[in-house]
């Protein structure tokens, strides 16, 4: 199993600057890596704790290191969004969620 990385970016408003920085640094690293669809960063806003956490996929380890992200478990698919990366990463990492979306779209 490959290692995921996570980093708390701050509260809702305070997380916008580091989120933007991740979005700025991702494209050159993505291109240099050959644009793998498995390279992505997801984010979750925990409203109860009022904090945003970024989850870096294993292929985004270099970017995770730039932010001091720590190894963590792969996040559950509920309540997260794709911060940056190829949209196909949903199906790669969260096939159950991708299947639910297809099912909802056809009903």
pLDDT score of 98: 53
Tokens of 64: 């995770």
For the stretch 18-42, pLDDT in tens is 999 999 999 999 999 999 999 999 9
Tokens of 54: 């970024």
Please indicate, yes or no, whether the overall pTM of this predicted structure exceeds 0.85.
Answer: yes
Would you give per-residue pLDDT tens digits along the chain (107 residues)? 699 999 999 987 888 999 999 999 999 999 999 999 999 999 999 888 889 999 999 999 999 999 999 999 999 998 899 999 999 999 999 988 655 554 444 44
pLDDT score of 47: 84
Report the percent of the chain where pLDDT is more than 70.
Answer: 89
Residue ranges covered by each domain of the chain: 4-106
**Regarding beta strands 80-85 and 40-46, do their DSSP bridges make them parallel or antiparallel, or are they unpaired?**
antiparallel
CB neighbour class for 11 (10 Å; exposed up to 12, middle 13-18, buried from 19): middle
């Amino acid at each position: 199993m490959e290692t995921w990385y996570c980093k708390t970016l701050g509260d809702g408003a305070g997380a916008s600057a580091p989120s933007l920085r991740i979005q700025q640094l991702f494209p050159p690293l993505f291109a240099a890596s050959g644009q793998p669809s498995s390279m992505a960063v997801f984010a979750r806003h925990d409203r109860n704790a009022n904090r945003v956490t970024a989850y870096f996929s294993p292929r985004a380890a270099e970017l995770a290191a730039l932010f001091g992200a720590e190894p963590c478990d792969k996040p559950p698919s509920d309540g997260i969004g794709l911060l940056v990366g190829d949209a196909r990463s949903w199906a790669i990492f969260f096939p159950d969620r991708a299947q639910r979306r297809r099912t909802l779209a056809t009903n």
